[in-house]
């Protein structure tokens, strides 16, 4: 039998990953050494025994076989945090597909001594009473920006500079004038520590409601009995989920453990952070994208040394090396941003469950619109489900009108605003109340529908919509099926068979034509290019500087606007009809959030959903804000068509500079899959191959993309297929092509 060799990393640090040493695997250890494992090896001239981490195994010896050393045996001691992280990397590599080095780079912080960023803070220099008297003066003079800053300074002694200029919309000049008056001073520090200092640490604990307390008690009872579980809290926005997370975190800290709180980057607002700072003071730290790699490394060191108990951050905060992790919280667990877009394309939810298993921690997921995956598992008893049904902040659910756009056209209204929406907009303008108009940007994928009857051109094989391509072709991005674009609608014969293209800018122009003098703010990729612009637009709107806020999905997240009493969704279908099995789910989530934006304050709200498919269940149930009803229909569709979570799929992407090379490789990979399809098995148990086909975006930067999908109800079968394809790929060593795997993809590729 040929000898086996292992690549081993001795010093487990990000920057040393590219320097593995090779060792022979002795006969007796064959079959039990695998990537991710921690082993003992003789190292250096003195052959001192050291710990090493296996990152790869192969049959070729890269050195003189006579001189190569052998692995002594597996390491025996209690695994350290690092070793658990390496084990997590191995799990990621296996379940999502990547090299061990890529996986390790994902979980280990880069040790970098890069220049630290400066963190500017505004520090109050006067007493609270003096600030209040200044505030009164500013109010009399109608100095609005000054009022906003002084109001904040009443309760807070230190405020991050970017937050003042960003969220509060206060200019540098205004800050300088307060500085000149001796009210504040600017402080610059290079260490990233708790950026907030509160007036008196207002021990900010609330009496939990009975529903909230029940969840806390149940999770803690399990915890104290030694049971580690995964829990899902389904509760509408404002139902008190964050308060539950904080209490659980506090209780876990009491037990000498630490906690990781994951939040989508976009929801990582100052408001949320402030609540955690109030509660946990200096023991909490934030990991966000504004930190430099050096600062991130610092944060990890602080966590490892026990200087902090809680870390809040997006996806990557999951890999914080706490000495004794007790809890992982994942807020808005349905968010797409929890899935990594680069290899390894891991999902933070599944990875959190594995990380918790390795570190003996519990996981709490929360959402107003849980992912189908989590709800499915909760109903099957894998996760424990809790519900919070009451909104603690008051405000009633808005009255929702569904407008049938086909009827609008029949009645001669070709405007992008339906009659109902125009009427309600005019009413709000008159009353001086605010409105939000929401455009689903996901429509640009190029789907085609009939403006007259709403018919969407779909693939007869895949139940996803066809996309329009150059040369008047309609193509299915799942299986490659193509037809020439028909001149008229096959359903009703209308010639209005069109792609829907309307940008936020166009909507703004049309709105101004319709209502001269209307004050608008626009929020989309164009207007939010710079770092603070997102917060700036939102705060301008909150300050009443516009009548209408127009935007893409960004505007439906976070932020309560008291005066918004009308929400208009211009074309709900734009996300329903993109060629994507998650379209219904995404649409439901977006519509539910959008509708929920109206009527947050004391005034009652209304929402208008314009659609070509008024009877679609995602539209109907979002209008009723009925998650369960939506889930029941959606899961049926997933079960019937074999999509996650009822079954699993992996997308294999092939990248090539030359189109023919990419296509060849995709075909060869497909042949490998086909050779494994067992035709003896009943159809439902066979591996299913779809494609290969050109990817949705067939060419990027002159690199051609092909994709094939493999489906099976068992995830582990797909992992086997991935291993097989990886193995074939490394055997063939094809030139100028690469492959990537994406398990249970979030989008059509």
Residues of this chain that bind ligand ADP (CB under 6 A): 206-209, 212, 235, 237-243, 392-393
| Residue 494 binds Zn ion (CB under 5 A) | yes
The item of ligand ADP, Zn ion, none sharing an interface with residue 68, based on CB under 5 to 8 Å by kind, is: none
| Residue 453 binds Zn ion (CB under 5 A) | yes
Backbone phi, psi, residue 521, to 5°: -125, 145
Least distance from Zn ion to the Cβ atom of residue 243, Å: 46
| Residue 128 binds Zn ion (CB under 5 A) | no
The item of Zn ion, ligand ADP, none sharing an interface with residue 459, based on CB under 5 to 8 Å by kind, is: Zn ion
Least distance from ligand ADP to the Cβ atom of residue 220, Å: 17
Q: Which of 450, 550, 708, 725 binds Zn ion (CB under 5 A)?
A: 450
* Strand 703-712 to 688-700 pairing: antiparallel
Q: Which residue matches tokens 């999905």?
A: 553
Least distance from ligand ADP to the Cβ atom of residue 169, Å: 22
- 493 Cβ contact list (under 8 Å, min separation 6): none
Which contacts qualify for 621-628: CB closer than 8 Å, 24 or more apart?
621/588, 622/587, 622/588, 622/591, 622/592, 622/595, 623/400, 623/402, 623/591, 623/595, 624/400, 625/236, 625/397, 625/592, 625/595, 625/596, 627/234, 627/369, 627/370, 627/592
The item of Zn ion, ligand ADP, none sharing an interface with residue 238, based on CB under 5 to 8 Å by kind, is: ligand ADP
In the complex with ligand ADP, the residue whose CB is nearer, 71 or 378, is: 378
Helix or strand or coil: residue 330? strand
- 198 Cβ contact list (under 8 Å, min separation 6): 155, 156, 157, 277, 278
Least distance from Zn ion to the Cβ atom of residue 464, Å: 7
| Residue 477 binds Zn ion (CB under 5 A) | no
Q: How far apart are CA 703 and CA 699, in angstroms?
A: 5
Least distance from ligand ADP to the Cβ atom of residue 393, Å: 5
The answer to whether 665 touches 656, Cβ cutoff 8 Å, is: yes
| Angle (nearest 5°) at CA 696 between 694 and 699 | 65
In the complex with ligand ADP, the residue whose CB is nearer, 241 or 257, is: 241
Least distance from Zn ion to the Cβ atom of residue 645, Å: 21
Q: How far apart are CA 151 and CA 159, in angstroms?
A: 12
Least distance from ligand ADP to the Cβ atom of residue 278, Å: 10
Stretch that binds Zn ion, among 80-88, 297-305, 450-458, 515-523 (CB under 5 A): 450-458
In the complex with ligand ADP, the residue whose CB is nearer, 151 or 324, is: 151
Q: Which residue matches tokens 């026990």?
A: 306
The item of ligand ADP, Zn ion, none sharing an interface with residue 489, based on CB under 5 to 8 Å by kind, is: Zn ion
In the complex with Zn ion, the residue whose CB is nearer, 447 or 561, is: 447
In the complex with ligand ADP, the residue whose CB is nearer, 387 or 663, is: 387
Least distance from Zn ion to the Cβ atom of residue 482, Å: 9
The item of Zn ion, ligand ADP, none sharing an interface with residue 212, based on CB under 5 to 8 Å by kind, is: ligand ADP
Least distance from Zn ion to the Cβ atom of residue 555, Å: 32
| Residue 221 binds Zn ion (CB under 5 A) | no
In the complex with Zn ion, the residue whose CB is nearer, 144 or 494, is: 494
Least distance from ligand ADP to the Cβ atom of residue 250, Å: 14
The answer to whether 36 touches 93, Cβ cutoff 8 Å, is: yes
The item of ligand ADP, Zn ion, none sharing an interface with residue 450, based on CB under 5 to 8 Å by kind, is: Zn ion
Least distance from ligand ADP to the Cβ atom of residue 538, Å: 17
The item of ligand ADP, Zn ion, none sharing an interface with residue 346, based on CB under 5 to 8 Å by kind, is: none
Q: Which of 236, 372, 459, 708 binds Zn ion (CB under 5 A)?
A: 459
| Angle (nearest 5°) at CA 610 between 604 and 613 | 130
Stretch that binds Zn ion, among 203-211, 272-280, 448-456, 655-663 (CB under 5 A): 448-456
Q: How far apart are CA 730 and CA 93, in angstroms?
A: 16
Q: Which of 489, 564, 598, 623 binds Zn ion (CB under 5 A)?
A: 489
The answer to whether 303 touches 322, Cβ cutoff 8 Å, is: yes
CA proximity to 243, closest of 206, 218, 277: 206
DSSP secondary structure letter of residue 337: G
Give the count of residues interacting with Zn ion (CB under 5 A). Answer: 15
The item of ligand ADP, Zn ion, none sharing an interface with residue 241, based on CB under 5 to 8 Å by kind, is: ligand ADP
In the complex with Zn ion, the residue whose CB is nearer, 62 or 495, is: 495
In the complex with ligand ADP, the residue whose CB is nearer, 107 or 249, is: 249
- 243 Cβ contact list (under 8 Å, min separation 6): 206, 208, 212
CA proximity to 258, closest of 280, 242, 288: 280
Q: How far apart are CA 686 and CA 679, in angstroms?
A: 7
The structure tokens listed for 668 are 């060869």
The structure tokens listed for 252 are 């876990």
Q: How far apart are CA 523 and CA 561, in angstroms?
A: 15
CA proximity to 678, closest of 668, 669, 688: 688
Least distance from ligand ADP to the Cβ atom of residue 235, Å: 5
The structure tokens listed for 731 are 């055997």
| Residue 693 binds Zn ion (CB under 5 A) | no
Q: Which of 21, 43, 214, 481 binds Zn ion (CB under 5 A)?
A: 481
The structure tokens listed for 488 are 């008229």
The item of Zn ion, ligand ADP, none sharing an interface with residue 208, based on CB under 5 to 8 Å by kind, is: ligand ADP
Cis peptide before 645 (omega within 30 of 0): yes
In the complex with ligand ADP, the residue whose CB is nearer, 212 or 343, is: 212
| Residue 462 binds Zn ion (CB under 5 A) | yes
Least distance from ligand ADP to the Cβ atom of residue 330, Å: 13
Stretch that binds Zn ion, among 126-134, 303-311, 387-395, 462-470 (CB under 5 A): 462-470
Residues that bind Zn ion (CB under 5 A): 450, 452-453, 455, 459, 461-462, 476, 478-479, 481, 489, 491-492, 494
């Amino acid at each position: 039998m040929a000898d086996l060799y292992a690549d081993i990393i001795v010093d487990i640090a990000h920057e040393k990953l590219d320097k593995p040493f090779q060792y022979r695997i002795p006969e007796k250890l064959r079959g039990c050494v695998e990537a991710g494992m921690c082993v003992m090896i003789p190292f250096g001239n003195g052959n001192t025994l050291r710990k090493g981490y296996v990152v790869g195994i192969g049959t070729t010896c890269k050195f003189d076989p006579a001189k190569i050393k052998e692995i002594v045996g597996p390491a025996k001691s209690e695994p350290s945090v690092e070793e658990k992280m390496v084990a997590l990397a191995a799990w990621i590599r296996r379940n999502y597909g990547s090299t061990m080095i890529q996986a390790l780079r994902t979980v280990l912080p880069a040790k970098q001594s890069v220049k630290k960023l400066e963190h500017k803070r505004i520090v109050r220099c006067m007493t609270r009473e003096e600030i209040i008297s200044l505030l009164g003066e500013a109010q009399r003079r109608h100095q609005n920006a000054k009022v906003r800053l002084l109001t904040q300074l009443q309760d807070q002694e230190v405020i991050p500079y970017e937050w003042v200029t960003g969220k509060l919309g206060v200019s540098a000049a205004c800050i300088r004038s307060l500085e000149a008056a001796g009210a504040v001073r600017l402080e610059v520090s290079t260490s990233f520590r708790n950026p907030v200092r509160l007036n008196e640490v207002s021990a900010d604990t609330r009496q939990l409601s009975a529903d909230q307390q029940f969840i806390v008690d149940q999770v803690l009872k399990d915890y104290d009995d030694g049971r580690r579980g995964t829990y899902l809290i389904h509760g509408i926005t404002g139902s008190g989920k964050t308060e539950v997370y904080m209490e659980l975190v506090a209780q876990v800290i009491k037990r000498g453990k630490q906690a990781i709180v994951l939040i989508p980057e976009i929801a990582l607002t100052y408001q949320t952070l402030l609540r955690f700072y109030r509660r946990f003071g200096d023991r909490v730290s934030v990991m966000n994208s504004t930190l430099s790699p050096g600062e991130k490394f610092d944060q990890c060191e602080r966590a490892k040394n026990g200087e902090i108990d809680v870390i809040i951050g997006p996806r990557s905060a999951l890999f914080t090396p706490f000495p004794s992790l007790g809890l992982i919280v994942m807020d808005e667990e349905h968010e797409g941003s929890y899935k990594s877009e680069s290899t390894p394309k891991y999902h933070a939810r599944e990875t959190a469950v594995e990380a918790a298993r390795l570190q003996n921690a519990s996981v709490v997921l929360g959402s107003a619109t849980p992912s189908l995956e989590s709800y499915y598992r909760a109903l099957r008893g894998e996760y424990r489900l809790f519900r919070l049904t009451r909104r603690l902040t008051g405000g009633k659910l808005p009255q929702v009108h569904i407008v049938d756009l086909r009827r609008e056209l029949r009645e001669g209204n070709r405007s992008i605003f339906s009659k109902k929406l125009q009427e309600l907009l005019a009413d709000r303008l008159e009353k001086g109340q605010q409105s939000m108009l929401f455009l689903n940007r996901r429509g640009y994928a190029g789907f085609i529908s009939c403006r007259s009857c709403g018919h969407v051109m779909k693939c007869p094989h895949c139940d996803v919509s066809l996309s329009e391509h150059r040369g008047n072709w309609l193509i299915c991005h799942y299986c490659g099926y193509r037809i020439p674009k028909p001149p008229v609608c096959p359903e009703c014969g209308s010639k209005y068979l069109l792609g829907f293209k309307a940008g936020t800018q166009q909507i703004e122009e049309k709105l101004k034509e319709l209502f001269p003098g209307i004050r608008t703010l626009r929020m989309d990729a164009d207007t939010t290019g710079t770092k603070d612009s997102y917060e700036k637009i939102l705060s301008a709107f909150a300050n009443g500087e516009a009548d209408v806020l127009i935007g893409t999905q960004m505007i439906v997240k976070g932020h309560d606007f008291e005066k918004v009493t009308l929400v208009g969704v211009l074309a709900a279908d734009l996300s329903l009809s993109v060629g994507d099995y998650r379209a219904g789910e995404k649409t439901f989530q977006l519509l539910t959030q959008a509708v929920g934006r109206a009527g947050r304050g004391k005034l009652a709200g209304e929402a208008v959903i314009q659609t070509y498919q008024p009877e679609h269940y995602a539209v109907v149930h979002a209008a009723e804000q009925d998650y369960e009803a939506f889930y029941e229909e959606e899961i049926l569709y997933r079960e019937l068509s074999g999509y996650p979570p009822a079954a699993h799929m992996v997308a294999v992407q092939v990248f090539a500079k030359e189109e023919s090379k990419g296509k060849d490789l995709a075909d060869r990979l497909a042949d490998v899959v086909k050779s494994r399809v067992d035709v003896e098995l009943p159809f439902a148990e066979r591996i299913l191959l779809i494609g290969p086909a050109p990817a949705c975006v067939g060419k990027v930067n002159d690199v051609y993309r092909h994709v094939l999908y493999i489906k099976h109800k068992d995830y582990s079968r797909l992992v086997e297929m991935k291993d097989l394809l990886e193995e074939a790929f490394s055997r063939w060593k094809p030139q100028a092509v690469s492959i990537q795997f994406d398990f249970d993809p979030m989008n059509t590729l």
